[in-house]
Amino acid sequence: MNSSTGEITEEEAAGASASASSSSVSDIADPVQASSSLLTDWQIHRVPQQMRRKDQTSYLYDPIMVSYGPYHHGKRHLRQAEEFKPQVLNLLFSETGRDKDFFMKMILNWIDHIRNCYVGISRDVYDNVKLAEMMLADASLILYLLDVQGRKSDIESFV
């Protein structure tokens, strides 16, 4: 970890990724690890240009408020949600008692599988650490939204 920035270096990311394949049965703490063979076949493709008729259907394929994953990451009109993700990430840290390093190591253990899910994502654009940080921020927002919706459902069931 870079002591001046507190960020994981690319070398640490490579080590974490390499260690994912050498874990023992006692190290398997989640069901995703047990089903890793399924992850190698998952892919998220971009919608082909032939299907994107700008005049009628582009709204079906392009995010309007928030982007998950690298395909639409960084687009100007999605900036508000991107600015909200760090706040939600801090909530995740405070509610779990875990820090960024804990979650980054977990994600970096899966970074090759994650990268392989996205067709055509260059390592030049998103190195392992940047991709892992994006996945962490996106996952924290998804968990937050599920939690908010769950609480809303709980409240509505009593009304």
* DSSP per residue, 62-113: S-SS---SSSSTT-GGGHHHHHHHHHHHHHHHHHHT--HHHHHHHHHTTHHH
Which residues is 44 bridged to in the sheet?
118
pTM to 2 decimals? 0.68
Q: What is the pLDDT of residue 28?
A: 43
pLDDT at 89: 96
Q: What is the pLDDT of residue 51?
A: 75
Cα gap 20→82, rounded to integer Å: 29
pLDDT value of position 111: 94
- Determine contact, residues 112/18, Cβ cutoff 8 Å: no
| Best CA proximity match to 132, nearest among 153, 159, 152, 103 | 103
Residue 47 confidence (pLDDT): 79
Burial 60-91 (b: 16+ CB within 10 A, else e): eeebeebbbbbbebeeeebeebbeebeebbee
Q: What pLDDT score does 76 carry?
A: 93
Q: What is the pLDDT along the chain (159 residues), one digit of tens a residue?
A: 554 555 566 566 555 545 444 443 344 455 555 555 555 577 888 777 777 776 677 778 888 889 999 988 988 999 999 999 999 999 999 999 999 999 999 999 999 999 999 888 878 889 999 999 999 999 999 999 999 888 777 666 665
pLDDT of residue 48: 79
What's the confidence (pLDDT) of residue 9?
A: 60
Is the CA virtual torsion 79, 147, 114, 16 positive or negative?
positive
